[in-house]
Structure 1
Amino acid sequence: TLHDPHIKTYYNQLRGRGLGHHAALRQIANRLVGILHGCLKTHTPYNPHTAWAHRTQTTAA
């Protein structure tokens, strides 16, 4: 999962907030489950730019 730049950025943010490695991976897994649910609900394929758009907007500000 850390090969995806969006997930790696999120992981680094979580680690920066003091979460341990395993806790950060759990947070990422929970986020990915939410993204999967959204894809299944809307019948759309996974698009990392859409899935992680709010993260990049939040961190860019």
Structure 2
Amino acid sequence: MKNDRLNHAGYLWAFAAITRSPGAKMHYRRRRDHGDWHSAAQRNLFNRMIGQPYCCLQHNRTYDEAVAFPESGAAAPAVAA
């Protein structure tokens, strides 16, 4: 079952991030270049973005875009406990 309000908020959040965050834009572009449609790439970006605050809260860390979206395109490094 899909939460329509969360879906709409996620769409707007990801769209805003694509226009303002270099890391988010790079992640979105990489997904598009690998064959994802716009909506699929944006949904993947939102899923990644929703996991970042969760990880920050879990490990009592502040958000860092360099860690969230590393330039190499590899997965974000694991956070040491």
Using the size of structure 1 for normalisation, the TM-score is: 0.82
Is structure 2 residue 46 aligned with structure 1 residue 29?
yes
Structure with greater helix share of residues: 1
Alpha carbon RMSD of aligned pairs, Å? 1.4
Runs of 4+ with >2 A deviation: none
Larger radius of gyration: 2
The answer for unaligned runs of 5 or more in structure 2 is: 1-16, 75-81
The answer for unaligned runs of 5 or more in structure 1 is: none
Of the candidates 32, 47, 57, which is equivalent to residue 64 of structure 2? 47
Query: Matched residues, percent identical?
Result: 28
What are the superposed Cα offsets for residues 4-39 of structure 1, whole Å, 9 maximum, x if unpaired? 000001111000011111111110011011111110
